[in-house]
Amino acid sequence: MSMVNILFFIKRKKLLKDGTAPIYIRVTVNKVSSEFATGKSINPSQWIAVKGRVKGNTLLNKQLNTFLDQQEYALHDIALQIQQYGKPVTAKEIARKYKGKDTPQISLVSLYEEHNKMQQELVGISVAKNTYKRHETSLKLFQEFPDLLRETVLLFQSYNMGNHLQMMSALQNSFMSESAFAQFLGKSRMYQFLPQKVKKSLPQMLMTDTQIGLVARAYYNDENFAPQQGAKEISMWNVYNLLTGANKSSYIDYFLDRSHNASLLADGLNRALYGENEYSWFIL
């Protein structure tokens, strides 16, 4: 197969109104290139040109780098599919397939409307009334704010199932002592009041004081994920579930970000137990 080169770059001369630069993809095959926008943008000072990625450890920047990784993988996969169908692999054809010009477009909003109709028919049978109401609220937000729908789709596209499964497996075989868990809870409450300069030097933690309180209560009362009576340690798998369980109290406009952050937090705490420094502040 022809060599396919994928490059991400920003256009500094086309800054958006918020001062960020749009991120573009350049696909090159046999010295012929095709360029198109990713729909993402970044502060030019945070862009690493030689890597084609964003620097920094904030949640948004990590999500953006994951998104770019996913797009690069998808483009190479498209090139492989073109070859398997016996067609010439060109930059133009890769771009065309990537942008979906050869597939019928289905409105996600219309699919969600159909989903909600089905949910409504099942209320009181296998669907709780409050669950149906939350879906209706989500649908209204997507209809009123199309940018919210776009960002939600991009967030799901950035999801890497392989990495997630690997992280879940690691959490099941790791344990945190009760004292370290108590230290984490205390530091999490302190985190909210740290000076901004100090807070920026630490990994982002989006859980509120109320949610940290829910985690503490669940440590003793949760039927599924609390440690057994008398145990002096808790598995990191259970810690992960206590964090994501507390996140269920979030409003819908914060739920996805906080849920993702809870996963990063559990993974970071697990790595801190084995000597990594990034999240060590929370347990030391």
Number of domains observed in the structure of the chain: 3
Question: Are residues 168 and 151 both part of a single domain?
Answer: no
DSSP 227: P
Quote the CA–CA distance of 59 and 257 in Å, as a whole number.
Answer: 8
| pLDDT of 218 | 92
Global pTM exceeds 0.75: no
Nearest to 91 by CA among 6, 167, 187: 6
Question: Are residues 155 and 200 both part of a single domain?
Answer: no
| pLDDT of 161 | 61
| pLDDT of 105 | 46
Question: Are residues 171 and 220 both part of a single domain?
Answer: yes
Which of 72, 98, 124 terminates a domain? The answer is: 98
Question: Are residues 278 and 176 both part of a single domain?
Answer: yes
DSSP 36: E
CB 283 within 8 A of CB 184: yes
Quote the CA–CA distance of 172 and 142 in Å, as a whole number.
Answer: 36
If one counts every other C-beta atom within 10 angstroms of the C-beta of residue 245, the result is 17
If one counts every other C-beta atom within 10 angstroms of the C-beta of residue 150, the result is 13
| Confidence check: pLDDT of 17 > 50 | yes
CB 26 within 8 A of CB 94: no
Looking up tokens 């370290």 gives 180
CB 68 within 8 A of CB 129: no
CB 108 within 8 A of CB 127: no
Mean pLDDT of the chain: 84
Question: Are residues 52 and 137 both part of a single domain?
Answer: no
Average pLDDT over residues 24-52: 92
Instruction: Please state, for a pLDDT cut of 90, what percent of the chain lies above it.
Output: 32
| Confidence check: pLDDT of 103 > 60 | no
Higher pLDDT, 46 or 151: 46
pLDDT band at 128 (very low <50, low <70, confident <90, very high): confident
If one counts every other C-beta atom within 10 angstroms of the C-beta of residue 237, the result is 19
Question: Are residues 209 and 166 both part of a single domain?
Answer: yes
Q: Which residues of 42-68 are buried (b: 16+ CB within 10 A; e: fewer)?
A: beeebbeeeebbbebeebebbbbbbbb
Question: Are residues 217 and 135 both part of a single domain?
Answer: no
Question: Are residues 190 and 151 both part of a single domain?
Answer: no
DSSP 251: -
Range among 22-36, 92-106, 250-264 rated most confident: 22-36
Quote the CA–CA distance of 228 and 125 in Å, as a whole number.
Answer: 34
Average pLDDT over residues 188-192: 92
C-alpha distances (whole Å) from 247 to each of 1, 4, 26, 159 are: 47, 42, 39, 19
Q: Which residues of 24-39 are buried (b: 16+ CB within 10 A; e: fewer)?
A: bbbbbbeeeebeeebe
Question: Are residues 21 and 135 both part of a single domain?
Answer: no
Q: Domain range spanning residue 35?
A: 4-98
| Confidence check: pLDDT of 109 > 60 | yes
